[in-house]
Structure 1
Amino acid sequence: MKNIALLALLLFLAAIGLFLAVVWNGYEWHQKLTVTVDTPNGPLSASSVQQMRLSDKRGPWNPPEGSGVSFTLSGEAVVMELSQGRYLFALLSGTPSLGEQLYPKMDVIDAAKLLERGEAEAYRSVTLSRRDHPLLVTFGDINDPASVERVDPANLEASFGPGYRLQSMTLALTEEPVTKGKVKKVLLWLGPYPEPTLSPATGDISNIPFSSKVAQGDFIRGKR
C-alpha cells in the first residue's frame, strides 16, 4: 500500500514538473535602453528600463503549432523633451533583445541564461545599429494622439529643427527596476489597455493614417 502511495506521489510530482517545463520554461532580465540626442544646447540623454522575457516552448510535449521561442517586452518607451513641449519617443515596438545584440552567434536560450543569471560578461553596453533601432515618434500636439508623427532617425532636424541629431541608442543589462510613470506624465490621454490605436480605423485599406498603425501598447505594456 505504501509503495502504491509512493508511486502515486512520484507520478504527481513528475506531472507537476512536466507542466512547469511546458508552461513556465522561460527566462527574464531587465535591459536599459538609452537614447542620446545632440541638440543646439548640447547632448541630451534619456533611458527606460524594460523587462524582456523569453519563453521556450520547444520540445516533444508541445504541439507543433505552439512550439518555438518567443520574446515579450514590457515596460515603457523612452521619452525625452528636446525642446519646449516637443518630445521624442523611442517606442517599445522594434526594441531588440539584449541577448541577440551581445551574443549574435549564440543560441538564444544560452544567451538568455547568461542574462538572467547576470553573468559579469553580460554587463556590457551595446550600441544599436540603425537597423535595430526601435520606432521613433513625436506629436504635433502632445494632447492629440492622432497627431503622432514618425521621426526619421537619420534626420531629426526634419521634426525638431536645426541642430538636432541622433547620436546613439544603447542597450545594457541592469538590475534597476522597470521604469514606471514617465510616459503617463506626458501622455495624459493614455488608457488602461494596450490594444487601442491612436486614431480609429477609417475603413480605408489603401491609405491608412500613421496614427492608426501605432497602439497605446507601443508606449506602455504590462502593469501600469
Structure 2
Amino acid sequence: MSLVVNTPFGPVTSTSIQWVEVKEYDKPLFATTTKYERNGGGGPIILNMGGDNVLFGVFEGFQFAEGTGVGSEHGGYVYENMTTEVLPEAREIDFQSDRAKRGLTFFRFRNLNDPLSGELVDIENLAAHFGEGYALQDGFLAITHQPVEEGRAEALLPWLATYEDDIFLDRNVYDRGTLAPSAIISGFER
C-alpha cells in the first residue's frame, strides 16, 4: 500500500508492504462455519512526516488482500493465487467508501514514547490531527514481489515489544477504539 500526504513542507510518500496468506480447509475450522484461515504480517502502514507527526494504519482483517476473488465470507473477501498474481497497475483506494472505512484504521501517537497518547485519525481530515496544510493526496494498493520489511513499527515505538495492555485510540468507539500491540506489529487487527 502506498500513501501520499501533502504537508506544509511538500508531499510525503510511504510504501508499506504486507503479506497475506489464506488457507482453505476441506472442513470448517473448530466450531465455526469458516473453511478459511487467514494470516498476515509486515507491519502497519507508516507515514513519517517528521517529529511526532507519524501516521499509522492497520488493516481490519484481510478485506484488502488482493488476488482473484472467489467469494465473500463474513463481510470480508477470500482470494486464491495470493502469492503469484501481480496487478499490472496499482489500484487507487476510495477512502470514503464503506469498504475502506471498515477495512482500515488510521491512528497516531501524540507522543511516540507514550503508548497512552494514541488517537484515531480521520484520513480524510488530517489537518484536524496534524495541523493546517496536511491532507491526503492519494492512496494505492497493489500486489508486489518486493520483500516485506518487518520491524519498522518497533523501531519507531521501542516500547511496543514489551507493552502488554490494549492501546486505547478512542474510548467512545467500541469496535475500533482499541488495538492490541500485536496488531500494530503485524499490521492486521484480527
For the aligned pair, the TM-score class normalised by the smaller chain equals 0.7 to 0.9
Quick check: 1:83 aligned with 2:50?
A: yes
* Identity percentage of aligned residues: 25
Equivalent residue number for residue 219 of structure 1: 184
**Segment of structure 1 superposing worse, 145-154 or 79-88:** 79-88
Alignment partners' CA distance in 2, 1:188 and 1:164: 26
Equivalent residue number for residue 197 of structure 1: 166
Q: 5 Å matches for 1:97-116?
A: 97-99=64-66, 106-108=69-71, 111-113=79-81, 115-116=82-83
| Secondary structure class of the residue paired with 1:219 | helix
- 8 Å contact 2:21–2:39 — kept in the other structure? yes
Equivalent residue number for residue 140 of structure 2: 170
Cα deviation digits, residues 59-101 of structure 1 (max 9, x gap): 35877735423432211012122233221111243563332xx
Alignment partners' CA distance in 2, 1:50 and 1:146: 26
Quick check: 1:124 aligned with 2:89?
A: yes
Alignment partners' CA distance in 2, 1:211 and 1:37: 23
Equivalent residue number for residue 38 of structure 1: 6
Residues 1:143 and 1:209: Cα distance change in structure 2 (over 3 Å): farther
Could you tell me which amino acid in structure 1 is paired with residue 58 of structure 2? L
TM, length-normalised to structure 1: 0.66
Gaps of 5+ in 2: 72-76
Residue 217 of structure 1, CA deviation: 1.7
Cα deviation digits, residues 6-29 of structure 1 (max 9, x gap): xxxxxxxxxxxxxxxxxxxxxxxx
Quick check: 1:185 aligned with 2:185?
A: no
User: Which structure is higher in strand share?
Assistant: 2
Residues 1:198 and 1:129: Cα distance change in structure 2 (over 3 Å): same
Could you tell me which amino acid in structure 2 is paired with residue 107 of structure 1? V
Alignment partners' CA distance in 2, 1:107 and 1:210: 27
Alignment partners' CA distance in 2, 1:197 and 1:95: 21
Q: Which has the larger radius of gyration?
A: 1
| Counterpart pick for 1:65 among 27, 32, 36 | 32
- 8 Å contact 1:183–1:219 — kept in the other structure? yes
Residues 1:111 and 1:212: Cα distance change in structure 2 (over 3 Å): closer
Residues 1:67 and 1:182: Cα distance change in structure 2 (over 3 Å): closer
